[in-house]
Each structure stands twice: as structure tokens, then as C-alpha cells.
Structure 1
Amino acid sequence: MDNLPVPRQIRISHVTCDSFRISWEMDSSGRDRITHYFIDLNKKENKDCNKFKHKDVPTKLVAKEVPLPMTVRGHWFLSPRTEYTVSVQTAAKKPYGDYAVSQWSEIVEFCTADYSIVHLNQLLQKAEAIARRMLPFSVFYRNQQQEYFQQPRCCRCMLPAVKDNSGSHGSPISGKLEGVFFSCNTEFNTGEPPQDSPYGPYRFQIQADVLFNRNTNIYFGDFYCMYTSYHYIILVLAPDGSKGDLFCKGRLPALDRSNNHFLSFTQEDDGSLSFRHAQDVILEVIYTEPVDLSLGTVSRIQGHQLMSQSTVNAKKDPSCKICNISVGR
């Protein structure tokens, strides 16, 4: 190790979904010989099998002139919500092209962040570009196995559960937001909910205005596909001032209840509400509060249980140009 100063006290700050700032301390002895920094960045899951490379084949080569703290982004291809390990060494380039290097610094661990509201607005714009036609609907519905609906009469409620990790890897609702999933898509030729479902042969139906009304706020949550030609959009319905509503404010783009591309209502002359949903996408609606089963009906559907269409923990297609934005997937 050619007596070059070893970076110490590595500090990571200003972490976003696809960037972070890094700085460190160094002894003054030998500092004037430094020409480059080598930064080794690995996903934490690969920590044991992807140990630091040979000293002559660094992960990244950074010019000494870069001031500290420096921002790491762009060509490093960072992903959101991902744990990384990072270590640094100093290097001095020799006349014949080789490098003298210091020892590696200590290994520091950190995790990248969720999509920010800026990133979600970019995703929202992409979703709006393909959701053009709207169809009327009147009910929200949820399919499950029969046992799910066979609850004791004293607690016949569908309770919120934490959203799984399906969809965009950086979505701030995955693994955090609690809610009850509903669908509202209808068949074009009948105007009714489809008779097939990937989630179970029994269906709970509830009038749309019970969940979505003037006291309900609506948020855009995600836009993704699963290596298929059709796309999914996740929307959040949260009663004004509820726990779910407070979670969504500032994290998710808010939509106009009566004027958006995905799910809206208008007030008729008699004061009633009429509802429309986007036809060209599959909507997944999360309602953030418990839902009493007595407010709707449960019946068996006539179609098939198409498990291939399930979105449980489904991974987003990172190569799709329609539903990806220019940050880590």
C-alpha cells in the first residue's frame, strides 16, 4: 500500500432514490500524491459474494479534483429503496499507467430513498398519456376466497393491510401504506365488473359513493406493467383527515376528484354522483380505512380464477418505455 492516506469517517448524506453525497477525512501525510479516489459501491445483498475487486480494477475511478462532499448519481445506476455498501481508497497514478493505492476505508452501509413527489409527478404524466377514454361504473369490488368473508358477526369488517411490494420499486406506498384493495374496471360490452378474477371466486361489491365522495381525497400512487401489454395504475382513496390521508399528503400527487384521467365523479342535477373510470388501464384502488361488510354484498362470481393475472408482489418491467422514468427502477 504505498503510504497513501486512508479515507476515514465516511459520511453519507442527502440520500435520494438515485443519488447520495459522500465525504471523508484524510491525514495530510501523502495527500499531495493523490491523483484519484477509488469508490467501491455494491448492493448489500451482494456483500459476501462480491467482495472488493482487485486493487487494479476498481469499481469507479473519480478524479481528485472533485470537491468533497461530492454527489454520486447518474452513471452509477442507483436504484431506489436499495441497501448499499460503500468504501473508498486513495490512489496515485504511476507514469506507466498503473496505480499505487491506499488501504480501503471502513465499509459504510446506507439505503436509497423512495421516489420523491417530483418523480411521482413524472410517472403521473406518463400514466395520463395512455389513459384517455373513460367508462361509467357504479360499484367498487374486491375478490377473495370464501373464508375471507366468513368473519364473526361482531367484527365483520375488511381491515386495512400493508401494501405489498408490487409495482415500481421506488413507490413510497409499498410496504408502508395500509389499506383495503378494490377494483372498479368494467367490461366494455356489459358495463359490469368482469366475471373472472385472480384473487378468488367470491366478490364483495359496494356502491361507489360509499367509498368515493366529496369527503374523500384521491391520490396517484403508481404506474407499472409486468412484462405485458396492459398497464396498472394504483390510486389511493383516503377520507379527508384520516390516517391514510395524512400519510399521502406531501408524498403522493393529489388528484382532482371531478377532473382527472383515471377515476372521477360528477354531481348530477338531483345531487347524486355519477362515476367514471379509465378504460385503457387496469385500476387498483386502495381505500385506507376499514370497510364494514354490511355496507355491501358478497356473492360468488361465475368466471374463472386467473392466477396469472395476480399482481401480488409483482415486479415492474424495467425496460418498458411507457411506464418508467429516468431514475433507478
Structure 2
Amino acid sequence: MELHNVTCDSFKISWIMETRGQDRITHYFVDLNKKEDKSSNKFKHMDVPTKLVAKAVPLPMMVRGHWFLSPRTEYTVAVQTATKQPDGEYAVSAWSEIVEFCTADYSTVQLKQLLLKAEAIAGRTLPFTVFYRNQQREYFQDAQCCRMLPSVKDNSGSHGSPISGKLEGIFFSCNTEFNTGRPPQDSPYGPHRFQIQADLLFNQNTNIYFGDFYCMYTSYHYVIVVLAPSGSKGDIFCRGKLPALDRSSNCFLSCSEEEDGSLSFRHAQDVILEVIYTEPVDLSLGTVSQISGHQLMSLSTLNAKKDPSCKVCNISVGR
């Protein structure tokens, strides 16, 4: 048995059958199970086809939708056939060998669907001037050669996002308080804050990509955008995997050139932006100081699971 064209929510399946009686095959039984752990590799009711019963069609056949396959998820699959005998009875073959496979990440098609949903709620924009990153004091004291280095993104957000567990970067925020126009004094990530002028990370030499849109069983939503200097390792990773955004006119994070040549910046007001910058950042380019607010750990998105039932930020394929 062979699988082909595995996507985030579908795959094609084909297998070799005995030539004798092949023209009398009327149905395929396809038994598919999510692989819960590495040792789980058995089907429930092996003698009874409990999953999909498909009429015989030319192989390879496409399997999708019926089980609402999730992206980046391990499954096991096996098949058997039913053949109509001359006396009108049916003969059912033995189950094939069990094949393990893993579905793919969201493609740009699915990410564009997610992008449209995010754009629908992004709302108005507010001006800002700095990116900032909160951590414990030790993080900045231990920074290698006084630089913050990219690390692999965790598995928070949409299960199918191609940046989770793969893209290397540094998380920054740029959200501001409506009444002050300044970054909030509270943070879930630590009492010490590094601030850097926005134009040092986001300028005419920076490409911007849409990475994810999700919520964590709350009323507010998160949007992840990626800032990658043109031609950098991060930029090469994002090309072809993530939808590119217009630097000056997207509704999440924009950078516009004014008449005097200066740059102005705006961020979406109605979503919480998480910005991933893909290159190392020298601490000497900004300042580190202690914030006066609290550590609101409940707002942390570290390995946070996306709410699969939210109609605002889920698309029809997978979770």
C-alpha cells in the first residue's frame, strides 16, 4: 500500500490487488485512526469495518474530509476489499498491512483563508514607535555577546501553522495602551523590558509575512506576523510558506515613509500582535529597564493550545 500527495487534510491511497477477481471488487474498506502515542498501533474491531466504506473507484483514491483530518498529526491506515461472488455473496479480504503517516502543515491556500479571517477583525490601527520584549533579568544578563539570539518557535497557536517548531526568531510586542499610546506596564513574560526603536527592526529592507491567527478560549485574538530582513535565512524560510503582506498597507503592522523620509508605524488595535524577528538583535541597540506593572502569567502564550471550536479563527480544514 502506498500513500501519495499527503496534505494537511487529505491523502491519496493505492495498493496492489490480485488480478483474479479484481473486476468484481465493489467496495473498499478504509480504516483510519489517529495515532495517540508511539506504542498505539492497533485498530478497534479489526474484523468489522467501522470507518469509511467506499465504492470501488480507479486507484489511487482520494481520502479527505470524512474524518476531518487534522494537520501535522500522526495516523495509521489499513484497507480491505469486498468482492461480489458468482452466487451473489460477498467475500471480504484480510486487512492490509498498517501504514503510518503524518499529515502536512497548512499550505499557503489554508493560510490565506486564515489571513482573511484575521483581516475581518483587525479593526482600526494605532501608531507606535518601539518594539519591546519582556523577560526575566537573567535572560538579558546571560545574552550571548550582549545579543538576543533567535530560537525555534514553540507549538502555540494553530496546529497546522508551518512556523511552529520550525521557524527561528525572537518574539517582540508592539501593542500600546489606547489612553497613553505607550506599551502596557504589565507582562506575562518577565519584569524586565528591552525596548528598541521600530525602524531598527522594520524598514524598507524588511519583508513581512502573516504567520498565524488564534485564540486561547478567550474573547481576544492573537495574530503572529514575521519580520525578516530581505534575503536573510528567515526570509528564505518564509517565502513560499507564508502569505507575504504589503509593508505599508496591511491591517496588522505597517511601516510607511513620510514626506520627510522618516518612517511611521501602526499596529492593529483589535488583536494582540506577536511579532517574530528572524535575526539576532544587539542589546546595545536599545535599552533594558524594569516595568512597574505585574506579571500576568495567565496571558502567556507559551505552548498555548488554540480553541478548536472558535468560529472566528478556525478554518474548515483540520484544527
Q: TM-score, normalised by structure 1?
A: 0.92
3-state SS of paired residue (1:308): helix
Partner of 1:320: 310
Aligned equivalent of 1:45: 36
Deviation for aligned residue 1:235: 0.2
Aligned 1:1-329 pairs, distance under 5 A: 10-45=1-36, 48=40, 51-64=43-56, 66-92=57-83, 100-151=91-142, 155-329=145-319
Unaligned runs of 5+ in 1: 1-9
CA contact 2:21–2:83 (8 Å) conserved in 1 = no
Distance 2:19 2:42 in 1: 31
Per the TM alignment, residue 270 of structure 1 is displaced from its structure 2 partner at its CA by 2.1
Distance 1:140 1:11 in 2: 49
How many residues align? The count is 317
Distance 2:200 2:223 in 1: 21
Secondary structure of 1:317's partner?
coil
Deviations 1:226-268 (A, max 9, x none): 1100000000000000000000011111111110100012222
User: 1:35: how far off?
Assistant: 2.4
Q: CA deviation at 1:31?
A: 3.0
Q: Write the deviation string for residues 175-202 of structure 1: whole angstroms up to 9, x where unpaired.
A: 1000000000000000010111111111
RMSD: 1.8
Identity %, equivalent residues: 77
Give the 3-state SS of the residue equivalent to 2:203 in structure 1. Answer: coil
Greater shift, 258-267 or 204-213, is seen at 258-267
Separation in 2 of the partners of 1:99 and 1:149?
71
> Does the 8 Å contact 2:135/2:189 carry over to 1?
yes
**Superposition deviation, residue 56 in structure 1:** 2.7
Deviation at 1:37, TM superposition (A): 1.2
How far residue 33 of structure 1 moved from its aligned partner, in angstroms, is 4.3
Unaligned runs of 5+ in 2: none
The 8 Å contact of residues 56 and 99 in structure 1, kept in 2 or not, is answered as no
Q: Distance in 1 between matches of 2:299 and 2:126?
A: 22
> Counterpart amino acid of 1:127?
A
Question: What is the CA deviation profile of residues 87-132 of structure 1, one whole-angstrom value per residue up to 9, with x for unaligned ones?
Answer: 11112479xx996422111111111111111111111111111012
Q: For the structure 1 residues 230 and 93, does the alpha-carbon distance in structure 2 shift closer, same or farther, using more than 3 Å as the test?
A: farther
Q: Residues 268-326 of structure 1, C-alpha deviation per residue, up to 9 Å, x if partnerless? A: 22211111000000000000000000100011111111111110111111111111111
Cα gap change, 1:99/1:161 in structure 2, threshold over 3 Å: closer, same or farther? farther
Partner secondary structure for residue 75 of structure 1: coil
- Read off the aligned partner of 1:217 and give its amino acid letter: N
**When the two structures are superposed, what TM-score results if normalisation uses the length of structure 2?**
0.95
- Asked whether the equivalents of residues 195 and 303 of structure 1 are also in contact (C-alpha less than 8 Å), the reply is yes
Counterparts of 2:5 and 2:142 in 1: how far apart (Å)? 47
User: Quick one: distance in 2 between partners of 1:93 and 1:182?
Assistant: 63
Q: Within 2, Cα distance between the matches of 1:50 and 1:93? A: 28
What is residue 4 of structure 1 aligned with on the other side?
none
Please say if residues 53 and 59 of structure 1, whose CA atoms lie closer than 8 Å, have aligned partners that are also in contact.
no
